[in-house]
Amino acid sequence: MIELKQLSFAYEKGRPVLQNVSFRIEDGEAVGLIGANGAGKSTVMKLLLGLLSPSEGEILVDGERVGKDNLAKIRRKLGFVLQNSDNQMFMPTVYEDMIFAPLNYGLSREEAERRVDTVLTRLGLQDLKYRHNHRISGGEKRMAAIATILAMEPEAVLMDEPTAALDPYNRRIVINTIRDLRQLRLITSHDLDMICDTCERVILLSAGRIAADGPAESILRDRELLERNRMELPFRYAGTER
């Protein structure tokens, strides 16, 4: 369970990025966090991971308040796919990146390697296993970053623009992978068709506040709501009216 209670944050005093944001996500839910550029989506993710501290309010993960004293414990529960894969892949090869966290969590090398091979096979990425990170394409690096997080087997998966820079084939693999996950999933994206395919619930942020929170299809079909908050209908709903 993840819960935000009256969360506010500002990078600069007097210029709030988030204002009194509250929502709760239960285990197993897949939730899309959407909004125009500058709405506060990435800031929410950074606050969840303890990379930023709220100006007001609190964040709970499994009932524990996120704070400096328990960040290591909280981060073991949360797998985060960063928007920029270059900021996530820091070891020489894909294999070394994928096995790093499982080994540091105390798994045997045999079990850690089993996880790595299982995830690579699931995503069809076996050929990337021993490739050097600086020699693979941006799309391949994004897929490798997702594989790295899944190898951790986190209790919740947070994804910031997971389909950005992917070709249609790999985009479909990511969508199917997200749909198959049973953990809590919180996904930010401008790819609203992907959100349609992966999330049953949507939270719409606008100017740092929650503009809507409800069933994905209801919100993503609402042309007036989306356009009022500087967004467009997903392609599949274009031409429909509410």
Q: What is the pLDDT of residues 109-131, one digit of tens each?
A: 999 999 999 999 988 899 999 99
Q: Give a yes or no: residue 119 inside a domain.
A: yes
Interatomic CA distance for residues 139 and 201, integer angstroms = 27
Residues 6 or more apart whose Cβ sits within 8 Å of residue 195:
32, 34, 187, 189, 202, 216, 220, 234
pTM for this prediction: 0.89
> How much is the pLDDT for 242?
47
Interatomic CA distance for residues 79 and 235, integer angstroms = 29
Of 65-79, 82-96, 169-183, 198-212, the poorest mean pLDDT is in 82-96
Task: Identify the DSSP state of 127.
Answer: G
The residue-averaged pLDDT of 124-153 equals 89
Q: Give a yes or no: residue 130 inside a domain.
A: yes
Give me the domain span that covers residue 31: 2-237
Q: Give a yes or no: residue 155 inside a domain.
A: yes
Q: Give a yes or no: residue 152 inside a domain.
A: yes
Q: Give a yes or no: residue 24 inside a domain.
A: yes
pLDDT digits (tens, 9 = 90+) for 19-72: 999 999 999 999 999 999 989 998 999 999 888 999 999 999 999 999 888 988
Q: Give a yes or no: residue 97 inside a domain.
A: yes
% of residues, the chain, pLDDT over 90: 65
> How much is the pLDDT for 240?
59
The residue-averaged pLDDT of 152-176 equals 89
* Per-range mean pLDDT, top range of 40-44, 141-145, 172-176: 40-44
Instruction: Read off φ and ψ for residue 14, nearest 5 degrees.
Output: 85, 0
Task: Identify the DSSP state of 70.
Answer: G
The residue-averaged pLDDT of 175-202 equals 94
Q: Give a yes or no: residue 78 inside a domain.
A: yes
Q: Give a yes or no: residue 242 inside a domain.
A: no
Specify the number of domains making up the chain. Answer: 1
CATH of the domain at 67: 3.40.50.300
Let me know how long the chain is.
242
